[in-house]
Chain A
Amino acid sequence: METILTIFIIFIAGTAATYFLGKLNGVLRSILFLATLAATGWLFFTGITPESGIEFRILGITMGWGITPFSYIFAIIVMGLALLSGIYAVKAMEDEKNLNFFFANFLLTVMSMMGILFSLDLISFFIFWEIMTWSSYFMVVFTGKDVQKVGIKYILFSAIGAYAMLMAIVFIYSFTGSVLIGDFIDNFHLFDTQMQWLIPILLLTGFGVKSALMPLHVWAPGAYSNSPMSYTAMFSGALSKMGIYGMVIVLILIVQQIPNGYWIKEVIAWMGGITAAMATLWAIKQDDAKKMLAYSSIGQLGYIIVGVAIGTPLAMLAGLFMAVMHGIFKSTLFMVVGAVERQTGTSNFTEVTGLIRKMPWTFLAALMSIIALAGIPPLGGFIGKWMLYESLMGSNHYLLIIMIFFSSTAAFLYCFKFLFGFFLGQEEKEWSHVKEAPAMMVIPMLILAGFAFLLGIFPGLILKPINEGMQFLGYVSTTNRFWEMSIIFNDWGNAVVMMPIFYWIIGVFVFFLVFLTIKGYKTTRYVSTKDISTSGEIPKEHENLTFTMGFMQPFLRAVAPVMKRQIDKYYTSIGNGLEALFDFTRRINTGNGQTYALYFVVFIIILLLFKDSLF
């Protein structure tokens, strides 16, 4: 029982200490920050068991904190990513200003996410949810770029989502008289039909905003790319998963109880599919690595949503596995971008090229996570996608498969662009001074990349807790039906064994290495780096020969009709319309005393006219 409280107390004390003592000394600040994360992480991984839990009352409402096997999965993601990106942040943020604010806020976000996962009742869930919203908001605007545009968009959508959720919560409270999530699930069948539809939709709106489900995603590209990369690693990796966490609970435990409720699931699954496809197209179009990764995050969250919304055991397994994997590889990629940006000063593909020799370890981390992202064996992304396809086939969602398949193939384009843009291609003088990022930044990336690799070969490591969590949600155990430590099956029992795949790939690598060495040894031919792309013409100095300039134009032309209509623009025009309307209401108070006197008279007349209906 006490462990949960201790964790919160350490977080709060650590936040305060980081903020106030951090003003004195930078080293002290970093130590306090990391010590808080380490202490809470240690307490969490050693002291927390599913039996832990406490109950208390506020305003006569019973509330509770505890952990379930299901929230444990997400807590692993949060604590793991927080520790690693925390270490990364200490070095990466070194030269920035206002660091005590940054680190204190970082801790607050981590605390609020843990709080969400620990909450057994809706009120504390909502409180932590809002703390998460505003603390992450302060990170989005931390850099001071585009504050009013990006920041307000983020807080606006978060507020809409959160208040949709709050509306559902007050309905639940007034119907059942309890805010405990368990009571709500047990009593849900007693609600009338209208409420049974309204409440899940409101809750899903709230979770959809955080998990960047189209059409509620418009805040995400700006917010992800605007916050410091060391934070985005956690923002995209862990914070967006809170939306998934809530969504799974709603879809599995609540929507299941509605007659005809599968429609909600189908709609959400399709929205997830559309999100995946559209976000991938947008990701391809970006020239800035941060924006690209932001869109890619939205797309990946789309896959996860498809998995959890389909909700068959295999699909759920796939969705949750991909959630973990996405947390791992996407934070690595954001860290890579952060490292590149720190070393070169820009994160634009069209400017930076050929860093592979300068930043080999960063490249290694990027390569591993890109392979995981693209879903190529033997890294973890493959397992998730394989299970997702199988589950979609098993549940007869053929159109959705096409959609997912299309976006997952199209994702190769931006994956390639990312690797090539930064690391391959011609080396330019401009970047000859670039050095490898400091060890404190590289090591977290490599650890994460290592995890992506490990989970690819032994997916059972993470499938085991996921299985326990799913059993908590009411699924039968999926062990030996869908997976063993290094083997996954499908609905029909066909198996993919990961270890041999791994050996095969190593074999192929070794073969090519030998082959190339021998071949290269025999006939060495020296060419300039520029002679292929220019067909013999000599390019002028100022010509930008970066490979990624105007990359994939034909493809983008082909898909242009789909991308023409941007939901963002509709929102902007709605927003402008509303502002104009509010400008009108502002003018009701004219500032003229005579008008006010007139209002006074009119008000009396109105009250007298409507006295029968008003009193």
Chain B
Amino acid sequence: MVGTPVFLIAIPLLAAFLIPLIGMIWKESVRIIPGLVLAYMTVLSASLYLFILENGTYVETIAGWQAPWGIDLVFSPLTGLLATIMTFMGFIVWLYSYRFKSNVEFEAAKKYFIFLMLLVAGSVGIVITGDIFNQFVFIEIVGISAYALTAFYTGRNSAEAAFKYLIMGSLSASALLIAIIIVYAQLGTLNMAEIAANIDQMNVHYRIIAMIFFIIGIGVEAEIFPLNGWAPDAYTEAPGPVGGAFSGIVVKAGIYAMVRMMFTLFDISGPMKILIVIGLVTLIVAETSALRQEKLKRMLAYSSIGQMGLVLVAFGMGTKAGVFAALFLMLNHAIIKPLLFLSGSFLTFNTTEKYISQITGMAKKMPVVSVLFALGALAISGLPPFSGFWSKLSVLTAAADENLMLIIALVLIISVIEIVYYFRVINRLFFFEYDESVSVKPHKPGFNGMIALFILAGLILLIGFYPASVTGYLDLAADDLLNTHQYIDKVLQLGQSIIQ
């Protein structure tokens, strides 16, 4: 092992502190150090993940305080998988944006890369922490870096978008805090495992109220309807790679927090109506809104929200197959949506408005990027033989096992809408003539950006043609999430003695 889970949080925080200082001496360091840190995090979480696959869940206690009292980090097949995906996507986003705005002055680059790093670190923190208050802190770290990144282009629109995000974020933070207070007042603990072990002692009314406030508190990060109003604006106004990071990393953390809360904290088993209802409403509203968008990134943002709705529906089924399908969807979405955002921001590079009409006929000028965008669009709309198909298929079979016919029908109808709006863009891109007066000037994509895109595209093809390459890991993760007792045992018993 190259380290313990705590390094996943400590190293980026330390680096964030040091970068401005080193940057005074060596300017290029503000670009390179975050990349090194993210690469290290990726390697670390991947090796930890492989380690725990062999040796079982690894629980780290911080500063020697044992589990119910101190904070612990849980690196299990589920959290490890998510952490690996997130750090990897963080690295991809860094790779893409390494030369990002190289003409821009040092200050802007410094802020961008530090916040990007913090965004990843915070998201990983949300996933691996075993303490609800600690999770709250990480949600705040993610939130603050996300507001800052949204407002990166210091214009009127981006400030407005960041402000809206800020309003929603702070409202949700207070809701989350209320929930935590209720739980603490009732059970006297903040440790997830201990809450889960003692949840039966909680008054049933308090339990429901706490759950509602948890849902609302986390719902803003998880982009559920109607708390996702900030998302389209933020995705649109933030720099392109940040959109990729939001959809690939931040939302996943939000979804994880929500699911962990439902499955483990409140130990609900069986179908969860609330998740299914929220997920379906989110899915329908987002996908139908996406159909009528004029801006590319906005459309992608709505599509991202819709996919998250589908993930919640799949989780809500509460079965092994449902959880597996949801994780599969999350994995695919974490790969495909950044590909769309990154290639999409190459296509619309020289515009400020990012209208879909502005990329008319761009395939003539930027063939490779356009093909990669099309690949992502085909994959996300679930067309075989690309990766999105398998996850959609597993969602549908999971629903069929539970005899949820209405859900199957709705999901498929929504998929039709999805196909329509993605194909409209593909049409514009490939089968329209390039028109100087409408389309933007093409931007020559950078070498590092293309590598990032090719890695993502390669993963899509790999999973598409050989889904067995990932299903084993997803299977273990799904077992891990559903097995609450094992989680409690691991965390609380390992907490009795300090394990190196």
Residues of A within 8 A of B213 (CB): 604
| C-alpha gap A604/B383 in the complex (Å) | 37
Residue from B212, B216, B383, B431 within 8 A of A611 (CB atoms): B212
| C-alpha gap A130/B381 in the complex (Å) | 12
Residues of B within 8 A of A133 (CB): 383
Are B431 and A582 touching (Cβ within 8 A)? no
Stretch at the interface among B70-78, B139-147, B417-425: B417-425
Nearest Cβ on chain B to A582's Cβ, whole angstroms = 4
Are B468 and A586 touching (Cβ within 8 A)? no
Residues of B within 8 A of A58 (CB): 467-468
Are A591 and B416 touching (Cβ within 8 A)? no
For the complex, is B384 an interface residue (Cβ under 8 Å from A)?
yes
Residues of A within 8 A of B397 (CB): 170, 173-174
Are B416 and A156 touching (Cβ within 8 A)? yes
Q: Which of A130, A174, A583 has the most CB of B within 10 A?
A: A174
Residue from A167, A589, A597 within 8 A of B412 (CB atoms): A167
* Residues of A in contact, count (CB < 8 Å): 55
Are B467 and A163 touching (Cβ within 8 A)? no
Are A588 and B396 touching (Cβ within 8 A)? no
For the complex, is B378 an interface residue (Cβ under 8 Å from A)?
yes
Contacts A144-B432, A173-B400; A160 near B416 (Cβ below 8 A) = yes
Nearest Cβ on chain A to B217's Cβ, whole angstroms = 11
Contacts A58-B468, A593-B163; A148 near B226 (Cβ below 8 A) = no
Nearest Cβ on chain A to B464's Cβ, whole angstroms = 10
Are B289 and A156 touching (Cβ within 8 A)? no
| C-alpha gap A163/B433 in the complex (Å) | 32
Residue of B nearest to A611 (CB): B208
Residues of A within 8 A of B403 (CB): 174
For the complex, is B9 an interface residue (Cβ under 8 Å from A)?
no
| C-alpha gap A171/B404 in the complex (Å) | 10
Are A130 and B384 touching (Cβ within 8 A)? yes
| C-alpha gap A170/B431 in the complex (Å) | 34
Nearest Cβ on chain A to B438's Cβ, whole angstroms = 15
Nearest Cβ on chain A to B319's Cβ, whole angstroms = 12
For the complex, is A134 an interface residue (Cβ under 8 Å from B)?
yes
Residue from A126, A142, A170, A596 within 8 A of B230 (CB atoms): A596
Q: Contact mask B160-204 → A, CB, 8 Å, 1/0?
A: 100110011001100100000000000000000000000000000
Are B427 and A141 touching (Cβ within 8 A)? yes
Are A615 and B208 touching (Cβ within 8 A)? yes
Are B292 and A583 touching (Cβ within 8 A)? yes
Are B420 and A614 touching (Cβ within 8 A)? no
Nearest Cβ on chain B to A614's Cβ, whole angstroms = 5
Residue from A126, A142, A155, A599 within 8 A of B229 (CB atoms): A599
| C-alpha gap A593/B378 in the complex (Å) | 34
Residues of B within 8 A of A544 (CB): none
Are B424 and A148 touching (Cβ within 8 A)? yes
Contacts A170-B397, A170-B408, A171-B400; A603 near B424 (Cβ below 8 A) = no
For the complex, is B53 an interface residue (Cβ under 8 Å from A)?
no
For the complex, is A137 an interface residue (Cβ under 8 Å from B)?
yes
For the complex, is B62 an interface residue (Cβ under 8 Å from A)?
no
Nearest Cβ on chain B to A62's Cβ, whole angstroms = 13
For the complex, is A264 an interface residue (Cβ under 8 Å from B)?
no
Are A614 and B393 touching (Cβ within 8 A)? no
Q: Contact mask A587-608 → B, CB, 8 Å, 1/0?
A: 0111101011101101110011
For the complex, is B291 an interface residue (Cβ under 8 Å from A)?
yes
Residues of B within 8 A of A596 (CB): 164, 167-168, 226-227, 229-230
Nearest Cβ on chain B to A104's Cβ, whole angstroms = 12
Those of B224-264 within 8 Å (CB) of chain A? 226-230, 232-233
Q: Which of A151, A160, A585 has the most CB of B within 10 A?
A: A585
Nearest Cβ on chain A to B424's Cβ, whole angstroms = 6
Are B416 and A148 touching (Cβ within 8 A)? no
Residue of A nearest to B397 (CB): A170
Are A152 and B420 touching (Cβ within 8 A)? yes
Nearest Cβ on chain B to A11's Cβ, whole angstroms = 13
Contacts A151-B431, A602-B226; A607 near B216 (Cβ below 8 A) = yes
Residues of B within 8 A of A599 (CB): 226-227, 229
Q: Contact mask A550-591 → B, CB, 8 Å, 1/0?
A: 000000000000000000000000000001011101101111
Residue of A nearest to B172 (CB): A600
Residue of B nearest to A599 (CB): B226
Residues of B within 8 A of A170 (CB): 393, 396-397, 399-400, 408
Residues of A within 8 A of B396 (CB): 166-167, 170
Contacts A170-B393, A597-B167; A586 near B433 (Cβ below 8 A) = no
Are A137 and B423 touching (Cβ within 8 A)? yes
For the complex, is A27 an interface residue (Cβ under 8 Å from B)?
no
Are B383 and A174 touching (Cβ within 8 A)? no
Are A147 and B420 touching (Cβ within 8 A)? no
Q: Which of A148, A581, A595 has the most CB of B within 10 A?
A: A148
For the complex, is A59 an interface residue (Cβ under 8 Å from B)?
yes
Residue of A nearest to B466 (CB): A58
Residues of B within 8 A of A147 (CB): 427, 431-432
Nearest Cβ on chain B to A312's Cβ, whole angstroms = 35
Those of A140-172 within 8 Å (CB) of chain B? 141-142, 144, 147-148, 151-152, 155-156, 159-160, 163-164, 166-167, 170-171
| C-alpha gap A142/B431 in the complex (Å) | 7
Are B423 and A155 touching (Cβ within 8 A)? yes
Contacts A131-B385, A134-B383, A603-B216; A582 near B289 (Cβ below 8 A) = yes
Residue from A127, A152, A167, A593 within 8 A of B424 (CB atoms): A152
For the complex, is A613 an interface residue (Cβ under 8 Å from B)?
yes
Q: Contact mask B93-121 → A, CB, 8 Å, 1/0?
A: 00000000000000000000000000000
Nearest Cβ on chain A to B289's Cβ, whole angstroms = 4
For the complex, is B134 an interface residue (Cβ under 8 Å from A)?
no
List residues of chain A with CB under 8 Å of any chain B CB. Answer: 58-59, 123, 126-127, 130-131, 133-134, 137-138, 141-142, 144, 147-148, 151-152, 155-156, 159-160, 163-164, 166-167, 170-171, 173-174, 579, 581-583, 585-586, 588-591, 593, 595-597, 599-600, 602-604, 607-608, 611, 613-615
Given contacts A167-B408, A589-B289, 18 further A-B contacts (CB under 8 A): A59-B394, A130-B389, A148-B424, A151-B431, A166-B393, A582-B289, A585-B289, A588-B285, A593-B167, A599-B227, A600-B172, A604-B213, A607-B212, A611-B208, A611-B212, A614-B273, A615-B208, A615-B273
List residues of chain B with CB under 8 Å of any chain A CB. Answer: 160, 163-164, 167-168, 171-172, 175, 208-209, 211-213, 215-216, 219, 226-230, 232-233, 273-274, 277, 284-285, 288-289, 291-293, 378, 383-385, 389-390, 393-394, 396-397, 399-401, 403, 408-409, 412-413, 415-417, 419-420, 423-424, 427, 430-433, 467-468, 471
Q: List 10 interface pairs A-B (beta carbons < 8 Å), by A numbering.
A: A59-B390, A126-B384, A134-B383, A152-B423, A163-B413, A173-B400, A579-B291, A593-B163, A607-B212, A607-B216
6 A-B pairs closest in CB distance:
A174-B400, A596-B229, A127-B384, A599-B226, A163-B412, A582-B288
